[in-house]
A and B are shown apart, each in its own frame.
Chain A
């Protein structure tokens, strides 16, 4: 009996020892996608789920480190931007292979660029490289180098390659042959995907062990966030990449060690007034909305601290301007969020002839100040913000009507009919470089929301923004670009065509069984270092 017991104890010890040895390698990582990926072609990825697959499987020449926000070498060991920002030369790593064993060479980079810029493919990733009309040329150079030349300079050119997953020119598997840490093994449409460790992945850890540590990744398609939360608490999934404030607080209540608040993200919530000259609004309202004093007054009458504290349960920060403080390089640190000051708001309005009498604000012609704000139905955070703004504005005698519309109707109003007065929406921002905001700030652009597609700038400050945005886009000197974009931020802060409300925090939940996870503010918040994540032996037992 004693012998049997001793053997049993020994067996348990061996099992535990082997478990801890596996702590760094092996296992299957589980998490959920909110929808089915629309495509597995990395050049066509536009939705969140497709981008997740691209990030985990695609090998890129350079990668933005999501923690430091610096650019780091991946498939390219070095790179140089030349010809005034029109060309970039990459030195490629030697001896790499795709997941199916096909050798990687400069020809693959040339093939990827040719596919990326093919107008027939309509690649959303390729749009960022279309600086002007003309052909993009890729030259394969000796000693495993490749040069890509564009018809016009592109500011921040090197960082754009973070999104370009290199495809094989020769592999029979086409886009399914990858250079990233994982490859797609199973794609059960509408149900789940299984990614397997790429045996030919190039990177190794400092101890010389091959990366990634985790053997496979299972991504279940799960739209219901309640079920996703339940699965996390049951230990069936290892993390939730992005949570809203309400769910985050539930995670905190259940197990604070799982909750990660990385601070203000790049995303912002903002409202703006319709300043389109030919919109079907009465002239007196057009005059209100085009007045800087009016917009500044509205901004000062909104209590952003309360919005962050109540609507986002403290997991948001009052927004300053078009760039979040999370954007370490481009944020203009001289600017502060507009303080809540209704007295100052009334003084500004008085400068424009508005009168505050018996709790009602009237303009100089006697019109009571009343306007509507539209937002998308079903987004409870925006509806709550609008309701709080409604009460804030009532403090300076303004009647605000909150209207929730289904999204297509809202888009129709803000882009075609211009039959709206104010709109409250959010801006999801993935890019650090201000060039990504070019279409928002140029007065001629379609996405210049408050007054799009202008033939000539309607105001002097819009003309100034146009000039500065073009100037920053045409130089490669980061210091000069920063100076120009700082000025754009200052003008936006003074004129407030967008009244920036809050920057939401980047919230996530991570199981203690997942190691090396350091959630950050940039997407993908949790698995940005997917090749270095590992699972403890506990996980295997949980499952």
Chain B
């Protein structure tokens, strides 16, 4: 499966590069409405046609992919760091600390995410630019997604804390912080890495779900969520297969993220 992994990495790199160069590649602004050409079919001017408001779909796919591809990993990083911190301390300390932290984690896991996101989104200030709005959305995703990962890291940290090499380090005079930083964290790296890669597609999907509910990234900034909203209702795509491009790209990118992980890196 090495070839599949290599293909996935190359594909992700190609997509990321195209998105980062969107300013140069995109034939039009993602927000500009060509009002005389709404719902246009692909043409030389609009490679993927235009959307319902006459905006160039190809440009929106480029910018939307950039938004999702840049911010989903950022949210995944935030989530993984929080999980490492909370889960690592709980697992390493053990006892009542672990029990308290894990009780909090369970509480967090039992919260209905989507409703929580909708509520938090409704409480935010109204006058924020689309860029700030998208940053807030992904920051929220990052802050809310740590609990599942923290449980896994806690279990791993607990096992490590009882291992012989930690006992040896303790016997050699290493104190708590040094033990955590020098001995525990490096051994948690593979699982953290795996958690990070797993979280990226999860956050992309969550933002897409929020977008489908109309609660994702604010207009006119595109994201995969807002692009996928075009596909609401299966009859909307009949005879307009080019509308499927964002969906195909989305599936390929999410699949590639999963393929990037080797079997050994998977947490379970």
Contacts and interface: CB of A to CB of B under 8 A. Distances in A.
A250 B213 contact: no
Interface stretch (B17-25, B87-95, B121-129, B166-174): B121-129
B215 interface: yes
Contacts of B126: 372, 374, 401, 403, 419-421
Interface in A377-397: 377-380, 383-384, 386-388, 390-391
Contacts of A380: 214, 229, 232
Contact of A401 (B31, B52, B127, B233): B127
B27 interface: no
Given A371-B127, A384-B52, A402 B33 contact: no
A361 to B, nearest CB: 15
B220 interface: yes
Interface string B7-18: 000000000000
B38 A226 contact: no
Interface string B116-140: 0011011000111110000000000
Interface string A209-246: 00000000000000001100110000000000000001
A432 B35 CA distance: 35
Contacts of B52: 310-311, 384
B135 to A, nearest CB: 14
A401 B129 contact: yes
A371 B215 CA distance: 19
B236 interface: yes
The number of chain A residues touching the other chain, given as a range, is: 35 or more
| Among A371, A378, A401, residue most surrounded by chain B Cβ atoms (within 10 Å) | A401
A456 interface: no
Contacts, number: 75
A71 B34 CA distance: 47
Contacts of B234: 226
Contact of B118 (A226, A386, A390, A406): A406
Contacts of B31: 391
A409 interface: yes
Contacts of A420: 126
Contact of B213 (A378, A390, A391): A378
B35 A310 contact: yes
Nearest to B128: A401
A402 B128 CA distance: 9
Given A306-B35, A402-B219, A406-B118, A377 B213 contact: yes
Interface string A419-432: 11100000000000
B235 A250 contact: yes
Interface string B230-255: 00111110000000000000000000
B53 A388 contact: yes
A402 B218 CA distance: 7
A398 to B, nearest CB: 13
A128 interface: no
A225 B52 CA distance: 19
B148 interface: no
Contacts of A363: none
19 contacts: A226-B233, A250-B235, A310-B38, A311-B52, A311-B53, A370-B127, A379-B214, A383-B219, A384-B53, A387-B33, A387-B53, A391-B33, A401-B126, A401-B128, A403-B126, A404-B215, A405-B121, A419-B126, A421-B126
Interface of B: 31, 33, 35, 38, 52-54, 118-119, 121-122, 126-130, 213-215, 218-220, 229, 232-236
Interface pairs A-B: 4 shortest CB-CB: A377-B214, A409-B122, A372-B126, A387-B219
Given A310-B38, A401-B128, 20 more contacts: A247-B235, A250-B235, A310-B35, A311-B52, A371-B127, A372-B126, A377-B213, A379-B214, A380-B229, A380-B232, A387-B33, A387-B220, A388-B33, A388-B53, A402-B218, A403-B126, A404-B214, A405-B122, A405-B215, A409-B119
